[in-house]
């Protein structure tokens, strides 16, 4: 009999769309990224495997410092579905999703069922922006 121990995986999913820096104060954004980096370190030190993914074709990035917030499309449902498929046969403990909640493609992730816990961190202001300043 052989036993294999598989570390639980936590996916840090970052919405790196252009809307994030537009609706979020830069100080708040930088503080949030530092806190997520701290979470990454804490999880790695406590026997978890951590993967950081962005919306851009669900790419895995080495660190949160590499974020550019340049994606033109936001399809959160496709993003979360890809994570579910990628980690289907793994010990997926959950997904930490950092997003402003604004999506412009796909269905609302609010109405989709996922077989994994999704912990959301809301950032920014989701109120519609005025096109003309008076």
Q: What is the pLDDT of residues 56-114, one digit of tens each?
A: 765 667 777 777 787 777 888 888 888 999 998 899 999 999 888 777 787 877 777 88
pLDDT value for 42: 93
Percent of the chain whose predicted confidence (pLDDT) is above 70: 89
Distances in Å between the Cα of 69 and the Cα atoms of 5, 32, 49, 79, 100 are 36, 14, 24, 15, 12
Among 34, 15, 37, residue whose Cα is nearest residue 26: 34
Q: Which residues contact 118 (CB under 8 A, 6 or more apart)?
A: 80, 94, 95, 97, 109
Among 81, 50, 60, 82, residue whose Cα is nearest residue 16: 60
pLDDT digits over 1-12, tens only?
Answer: 999 888 999 999
């Amino acid at each position: 009999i052989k036993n294999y121990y598989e570390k639980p995986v936590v996916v840090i999913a970052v919405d790196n769309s252009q809307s994030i820096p537009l609706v979020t104060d830069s100080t708040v954004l930088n503080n949030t990224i530092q806190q997520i980096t701290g979470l990454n370190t804490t999880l790695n030190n406590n026997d978890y495997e951590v993967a950081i993914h962005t919306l851009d074709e669900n790419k895995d990035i080495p660190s949160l410092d590499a974020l550019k917030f340049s994606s033109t499309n936001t399809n959160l449902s496709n993003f979360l579905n890809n994570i579910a498929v990628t980690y289907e046969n793994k010990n997926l403990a959950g997904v930490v999703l950092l997003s402003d909640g604004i999506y412009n493609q796909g269905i609302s992730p609010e109405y989709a069922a996922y077989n994994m816990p999704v912990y959301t961190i809301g950032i920014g202001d989701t109120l519609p922006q005025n096109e003309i300043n008076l």
